[in-house]
Amino acid sequence: MSAAARLVAKEVLALGRTEAPAVVRGFKTSAAPRAGGGYHYDYEHGPNYLNFQDWPGRKRKITTWILGMWVTGLGVPSFAVWYQQNKLKG
């Protein structure tokens, strides 16, 4: 059998197959591997993220935050009650 006939026969047999051809997958990178080190924090202020003790003006900032939450938590419902009662006075 000639080479052309063998190639045609191979292609005809391949048409009858339903399985996908085998694919070799790999991972390539041009970067050199690093052992440890070189870590950059994902968060901008990573090393000091939850270090509350070293915040400048810590007492003022936390007091302001707590008072703001308290005023918002009591102020919004109080305003809603006042507004509804003023509408019903009418």
pLDDT at 13: 75
Global pTM value: 0.41
Question: How far is it, in rounded angstroms, from Cα 76 to Cα 86?
Answer: 15
Judged against a pLDDT cut of 70, whether residue 80 lies above it is answered with yes
Q: Is 12 exposed, middle or buried (0-12, 13-18, 19+ CB in 10 A)?
A: exposed
Helix (H) or strand (E) holding 3: helix 3-16
Structure tokens at 58: 């810590």
Residues 6+ apart with CB under 8 A from 43: 49
Lowest mean pLDDT among 9-13, 42-46, 82-86: 42-46
Give the 3-state secondary structure of residue 59. Answer: helix
